Amino acid sequence: MTHHTHTTGAITISTPSDLEIVSECVFDAPRESVFAAFTDPGLISQWLGRRGTITIVDKMDLKPGGAWRFVTQTSNGEETAFRGSFREIAQPERIGRTFEWEGMPGHVLVETATFEDLGGRTKVTTNSLFDSREDRDGMLNSGMEEGMNESYERLEELLATPVANEAVR
């Protein structure tokens, strides 16, 4: 009998230094599908953000130096935007990018996401490197963990649908 562990909500968040936040989560999907979910604008809009919000991929130039910008809308029309530029795209292993919340311009962090193939499952590790401890703590106190949990739950649901798997064929 095979014991199947459902990984939803199993995000580990750690702070290995004063300037870093590291998150880890394992998804029950092949690495190519998970990588596509992080890089395909049509898929990103289906999982990124809290439930009840809509994420619009305004820009997504998937190459080193290319700009990205996501706008999240709440049900009452409030908008929050995030932007940055890609530093590295190594399909399907790694994405490096800068990340800035437009509500607090000038506070730029560098985020590196790695996708580890666990044989049909994928471990996503995200390392966020901040300019200051204040910026890091601000992110930790912003509801980041709850938002990430909800986004990753939505991603897990999306990865269980045929849509996500067709995207990589």
Task: Give me the pLDDT at residue 47, please.
Answer: 95
Q: Are 138 and 149 in contact (CB under 8 A)?
A: no
Q: Is residue 162 included in any domain, yes or no? A: yes
Taking the alpha carbons of 148, 150, 153, 155 in that order, is the dihedral positive or negative? negative
pLDDT digits (tens, 9 = 90+) for 46-57: 999 999 999 999
pLDDT band at 167 (very low <50, low <70, confident <90, very high): low
Residue 159 falls within a domain, yes or no?
yes
Q: Give the CATH number, domain containing residue 50.
A: 3.30.530.20
- Identify whether 78 is part of a domain: yes
Domain span at residue 44 reads 12-166
Average pLDDT estimate for 153-161 = 93
Whether residue 16 has pLDDT greater than 90 = yes
Q: Is the whole model's pTM more than 0.85, yes or no? A: yes
- Beta-carbon count within 10 A of 157 CB: 13
Please write the tens of the pLDDT for every residue from 114-140: 999 999 999 999 999 999 999 999 999
> Does 6 map to a domain?
no
Read off the pLDDT band of 69 (50, 70, 90).
very high
User: How many independent structural domains does the chain possess?
Assistant: 1
Is residue 1 assigned to a domain? Answer: no
Residue 145 lies in a domain: yes
Rounded mean pLDDT of 15-25? 96
Residue 5 lies inside a defined structural domain of this protein: no
% of the chain exceeding 70 in pLDDT? 91
Which phi and psi angles does 109 have, rounded to 5°? -115, 160
Q: At which residue do the structure tokens 């649908």 appear?
A: 161
Residue 8 has pLDDT above 50, yes or no: no
Task: Look at residue 7 and tell me if it is in a domain.
Answer: no
- When pLDDT is averaged across residues 56-62 and rounded to a whole number, the result is 97
